[in-house]
Structure 1
Amino acid sequence: MACILVLTLFAMFLISFSANDVVGEPLFPAMYVFGDSLVDDGNNNFLNSLAKANFAPYGIDFSSGPTGRFCNGKTPIDLLGEKIGLPYLPPFADTTAQGGADIFSGVNYASAAAGIMEVTGRHLGERISFRKQVQNFETTLNQLKSQVNIEILSKNLSKSLTVVNHGSNDYINNYLLPKLYATSFICDPKSYADLLIQLYKKQILILHGFGLRKFLLGGLGPLGCIPNQLSRASAPPGQCVTYVNKIVSMFNDALKTLVDQLNLDYNGSVFVFGNTYGTLADIINNPNTHGFTVTDRACCGCLPMSTPCRNRSEYVFWDTYHPTQAVNIIIIDRALNGPPSDCYPVNVKQMAKM
């Protein structure tokens, strides 16, 4: 019986991780996601945290209702998975529960309020930092090693897509909260961005050491334009908070430089910078072009059972921090098909062929 179970699992793995030249097969055999609330699909449901979205009206436009996704509908990761031929990824917390979950197509490790720095988001309670998320990936890797031939596993890890979306909380839930965190007194904005990139690089190289070779590294959006920052800084009507966008751009510039460095240092791997800032700035500056009418207010106050706006597709922001599903659709379309201005130096479809 045990032998039959092992063979069955092995067969499932081969099906999930077969070559991409077969018609209808996924562009990548699996996807592993590290990040914050922009891509969390339920890990914080299991934590003692104020940063949760497992209640209505979150998920009002999602087939499963409230799941822990900080959106009215699908996250960028849900949409990306659909486009590259993968199912919705299980949150890591579900993969360690009794009975587990299917891990052969990938796992989502993201955690709302988490950041690159360990202290980021501590005022909101428990969260899983980038470092801890990488440790959780090692747990998944050990699970796979116990079920699959190591050579097949290594080959397919090298073809899988790794998505990292970290850094926003290190600003909005750390650096920009001087009453709670001392980082803005200790580091000037450039030094802080450099520190974050050093810590970020360390975790990327650990993942690379585990055998992952294809990395989509999401840049930060224009945080000075989100309703949370607009209300805090009392920006003039129709304008974003210039200072916030300026320091975020320092992080993005450093991340793009890191991408260049990694591509030079690690031949046979591919590192891509996702220009989220450029996409969101375009939407905010040219809303009518994309079908939006409201760029500076949230559609939803998102207290439990509150009533959101009805014309959700016209809003850029779902709550004070997160974009609507309509925005996520544009972000993923550009990541998949866009020119280097959207995804540098190649887009996601091009990554799959490399």
Structure 2
Amino acid sequence: MACDSQLFTVFVVLGILQIQTFLVVGEPRVPCLFIFGDSLVDNGNNNNLETQAKANYKPYGVDFPGGVTGRFTNGRTIADMIGHLLGFSKFIPPHATATDDEISTGVNYGSGSAGIRDESGSHLGDRLYLARQIRNHKALITRLTNLQNNKALTDEHLKQCIYLSNIGSNDYINNFLIPELYPQSHSYTSDQFAALLIRQYTQHLTTLYNLGARKIAVFGLGQIGCALEVIARFGKDGGSCVDLINDSVNIFNGRLKPAIDKLNNDLAGSRFTFINVTSILAPQGGVQFPNIPCCQVRPDGQCIPDTNPCPNRGLSVYYDGFHPTEIANTVLATRSYTSLSNMDASPYDISHLVQVAN
């Protein structure tokens, strides 16, 4: 996420990037893709949950090939696009509806309002927080093993897959930044809270490794203090980013990269990589996009049902008060897959993560 000083500015290449995103040639580069995260990747898992955090209504999905699906954007998510770049001709299905015929090529466990911490987002209703997503993955592995009737084959299959983890924003937006609802979060300083999140996140990622994952791309957080709804709630000076919130996020990101390095050192055969969202969204000069939501938003920052979104969605970064448009997702997915700077990904981007040996 980014404010007007950090919006995507390479407008002249966006059309090229968008075309490249949807080129699928031959077989997928990996046998399967598993996706963990929050509303930035949710593709329908929240549709039947008792929660305010769902996007299974228009104007969400107005540009998605299948229409409204539960994605928190106008079209494709970053996970959808990375799937295409990996060569998958079909979208990875949500765990909630994945069939036996689909699960061998991967599943999306993402859930709107979910966090690293179990309680994050609980005031909005039910959600599949990260521990639940990993439990769902463990159950799916059993299901896949039973279908293949060969545990060794299943284990080898899983080691070749790509895993994406994009989560943590709700631990700030729907936890740390709401002390009246989550007072326990303010038992910590920003540094202590970031350390707590990293410790828990590391435990979850280690569990994922123990379940057979080896190639795992872990996304850092965007500049939450620049999200439109966060500016509306906490901003004081005419729509500028909230620096104190970004400072807290930067502490988390600064701890996440060395945590990823340590996992690679400690876990034999692991190939974790850190995707630096802040670097990817950094200003680069050129055309600035309007810093307003594309849809009309409710007080909670989500789109008002059945309203008309802005007509030029390719010129907007935010679709609602929190979530990026498809064009913004395109840039983030493309640079996650093929980095343009050595700051974008470490130790390698996703295209090289595919190639590295376990």
TM-score of the pair, normalised by structure 2: 0.87
In the alignment, the residues of structure 1 paired with residue 214 and residue 307 of structure 2 have an alpha-carbon distance, to the nearest angstrom, of: 43
Q: Which amino acid aligns with 2:29?
A: L
Q: Which whole-Å deviations, capped at 9, do the CAs of 1:123-177 have from their partners, x for residues lacking one? A: 1000011001000001110111001122221112111011111100000000001
User: Which 4+ stretches in 1 moved above 4 angstroms?
Assistant: none
In the alignment, the residues of structure 1 paired with residue 286 and residue 185 of structure 2 have an alpha-carbon distance, to the nearest angstrom, of: 33
Task: Give the deviation of 1:272 after TM superposition.
Answer: 0.6
Asked if the contact 2:165–2:218 (Cα under 8 Å) also holds between the matched residues in 1, the reply is yes
Q: Which of 272, 276, 294 is the aligned partner of 2:290?
A: 294
In the alignment, the residues of structure 1 paired with residue 126 and residue 286 of structure 2 have an alpha-carbon distance, to the nearest angstrom, of: 36
Corresponding residue number in structure 2 for 1:65: 67
For residues 162-311 of structure 1, what are the structure 2 equivalents within 5 Å?
Answer: 162-237=163-238, 239-282=240-283, 286=285, 288=287, 292-295=288-291, 297-300=292-295, 301=297, 302-311=303-312
Q: Which amino acid aligns with 1:42?
A: G
RMSD: 1.4
SS at match of 2:34: strand
Asked if the contact 1:113–1:121 (Cα under 8 Å) also holds between the matched residues in 2, the reply is yes
SS at match of 1:147: helix
Task: Give the deviation of 1:183 after TM superposition.
Answer: 3.4
Q: Which of 15, 28, 42 is the aligned partner of 1:26?
A: 28
SS at match of 1:162: strand
Task: Give the deviation of 1:234 after TM superposition.
Answer: 2.5
In the alignment, the residues of structure 1 paired with residue 237 and residue 347 of structure 2 have an alpha-carbon distance, to the nearest angstrom, of: 36
For residues 85-104 of structure 1, what are the structure 2 equivalents within 5 Å?
Answer: 85-86=87-88, 87-95=90-98, 102-104=102-104
C-alpha spacing 1:58/1:294, structure 2 compared with 1 (3 Å): same
Task: Give the deviation of 1:108 after TM superposition.
Answer: 0.5
Q: Which whole-Å deviations, capped at 9, do the CAs of 1:266-298 have from their partners, x for residues lacking one? A: 232211111112222337xx461xxx5212x21
Corresponding residue number in structure 2 for 1:146: 146
Asked if the contact 2:176–2:185 (Cα under 8 Å) also holds between the matched residues in 1, the reply is yes
In the alignment, the residues of structure 2 paired with residue 270 and residue 250 of structure 1 have an alpha-carbon distance, to the nearest angstrom, of: 24
Identical positions, percent: 39
- 1:351 matches 2:353: yes
Structure 1, unmatched stretches of 5+, are 1-22
Q: Which amino acid aligns with 1:57?
A: P
Q: Which amino acid aligns with 1:230?
A: I
Q: Which amino acid aligns with 1:92?
A: H
C-alpha spacing 1:310/1:72, structure 2 compared with 1 (3 Å): same
Asked if the contact 2:235–2:241 (Cα under 8 Å) also holds between the matched residues in 1, the reply is no
In the alignment, the residues of structure 2 paired with residue 185 and residue 146 of structure 1 have an alpha-carbon distance, to the nearest angstrom, of: 45
Q: Which amino acid aligns with 1:244?
A: I
In the alignment, the residues of structure 1 paired with residue 130 and residue 72 of structure 2 have an alpha-carbon distance, to the nearest angstrom, of: 18
Q: Which amino acid aligns with 1:138?
A: K
In the alignment, the residues of structure 1 paired with residue 211 and residue 100 of structure 2 have an alpha-carbon distance, to the nearest angstrom, of: 22
Give 1 or 2: higher helix fraction. Answer: 1
Structure 2, unmatched stretches of 5+, are 1-24, 298-302
TM-score of the pair, normalised by structure 1: 0.88
Corresponding residue number in structure 2 for 1:13: none
Number of residue pairs aligned between Structure 1 and Structure 2: 323
Asked if the contact 2:231–2:239 (Cα under 8 Å) also holds between the matched residues in 1, the reply is no
Corresponding residue number in structure 1 for 2:3: none
Corresponding residue number in structure 2 for 1:5: none
